[in-house]
Structure 1
Amino acid sequence: MSRVLILATDGFEQSELTGPRDALHQAGIETVVASPRPGEIKGWQHTDWGDSVAVDQTLDEVNEGSFDALVLPGGQMNPDKLRLEPKAIALVQSFARAGKPVAAICHGPWLLAEANVLQGRTVTSWPSIRTDLRNAGAQVVDQAVVVDGNLITSRKPDDIPAFSKAVIAALQESAAA
């Protein structure tokens, strides 16, 4: 069974964590939510606070080697907070260097820019961070999902079905290889 690490903190966009997580579970894939602190993290749903999600592991407890892929939900606050966490950035870099799927949606690609893994890659994102991604060396396109090697990116909650399908396909390819 594949294992996927979902990296998030307070302010994650509710649907961008729960949608992919639920799709992965339906495909028989285990997910683990990691955050800088233990307990629960609070989601953001459109214009107000959403539901809490249990944290399975803190960043200090995560062993990248025990996971097959990394998912980075968006929400404006979530990746902005995480990019100030050296351990979060080190995890993104570790997954990317290992060639494991790294999937980021909406504002989640901010972490890819912070981890310096975008040079020469094609990605998509929420419109307001596209300049940041270009400045980090990426070619930015406006598509529901973009797969460039091990990077999988999407723009917004409406793209969750395509995003989830791409993550599952990448895990199936990795398992078959």
Structure 2
Amino acid sequence: MAGELNGRKVAVLAADGVERIELVQPRKALQDAGADVELVSTHGGRIQSMNGDIEPADRFDVDREVSEVEAGDYDALVVPGGTINPDQLRVDADAVRFVRAFVDGGKPVAAICHGPWILVEADVVRGRTVTSYPSIRTDIANAGGTVVEEKVVTDQGITTSRNPDDLPTFCERIVAEFAKA
């Protein structure tokens, strides 16, 4: 995977409560492929990651605040999950705007587990086939998306995956999709 993403800049959009492994593994895969990866969040400083929803894990330095960036600053976007993280993101107008701008601009977006919640809020799942953690599938269907039970799905520039068990497949796919863009 080395070199496929040389010269590409990728935003990882995450807030407090992000599932640690869903932040760390995709970021590492993208960096190993040569991408410049920035952690973008709803606030500056550091965000608190979690193992599951109740066990605090590592804290991560935020590179940029979502209120200060544009989709045009990046080539692709990743939204990790955890229950708390996307729930915070979807109530932040700047985060929703940021996600919508990627999709409207035809730039690749990837979301795993509960991450597609912000895709629902940005109204970008309508007419697309996606997968996610089971508890948000009704939200996706109500937003006009078609939900499938697969490890990873890519449809019209949006790549989604179900849970941390799917991370190897998800990481491989996002590197390939981001390299094509």
Q: With the length of structure 1 as denominator, give the TM-score of the two structures.
A: 0.96
In the alignment, is the contact (CA less than 8 A) between 2:13 and 2:39 conserved in 1? Answer: yes
**Unaligned stretches of 5+ in structure 2?**
1-6
Indicate the residue corresponding to 1:5 in structure 2.
11
Question: 1:6 deviation in Å?
Answer: 0.5
Query: Which of 78, 89, 93 is the matching residue for 1:86?
Result: 93
Letter in 1 for 2:75: D
After the TM superposition, which segments of 4 or more aligned residues of structure 1 sit over 3 Å from their partners?
none
| 1:113 pairs with one of 86, 107, 120 | 120
CA displacement at 1:45 relative to structure 2 = 0.7
Q: Which amino acid aligns with 1:90?
A: R
- Whether 1:41 and 2:73 are equivalent positions in the alignment is no
2:131/2:148 contact within 8 Å kept: yes
Q: Any idea what the Cα deviations from partners look like across 1:106-145, whole Å, max 9, x if unmatched? A: 0000000000011110000000000000000000001110
Q: Which moved more, 1:123-132 or 1:43-52?
A: 43-52
User: Which runs of structure 2 are paired with 1:67-82 in the superposition (5 Å)?
Assistant: 67-82=74-89
> Could you tell me how far 1:81 is from its partner in structure 2?
0.7
Comparing 54-63 and 99-108, the one that deviates more: 54-63
Output the CA distance in 2 between the equivalents of 1:63 and 1:128.
Answer: 30
Shift of 1:79: 0.4
| Alpha-carbon separation, structure 2, partners of 1:99 and 1:63 | 14
- Which residue of structure 2 aligns with residue 149 of structure 1? 156
Of residues 26, 29, 34, the one that matches 1:23 is 29
Amino acid at match of 2:147: V
Letter in 2 for 1:159: D
Instruction: Give distance in 1, aligned partners of 2:148 and 2:77.
Output: 22
- What's the TM-score, normalizing by structure 2? 0.94
Q: Percent identity?
A: 48
Alignment check: 8 A CA contact 2:67 2:95 kept: no
What residue number does 1:66 align with? 73
Structure 2 counterpart of 1:103, from 89, 98, 110: 110
Please tell me the root mean square deviation across aligned C-alpha atoms, in Å: 0.8
SS at match of 1:87: helix
Aligned match of 1:131 in 125, 131, 138?
138
Count of residue pairs the alignment pairs up: 174
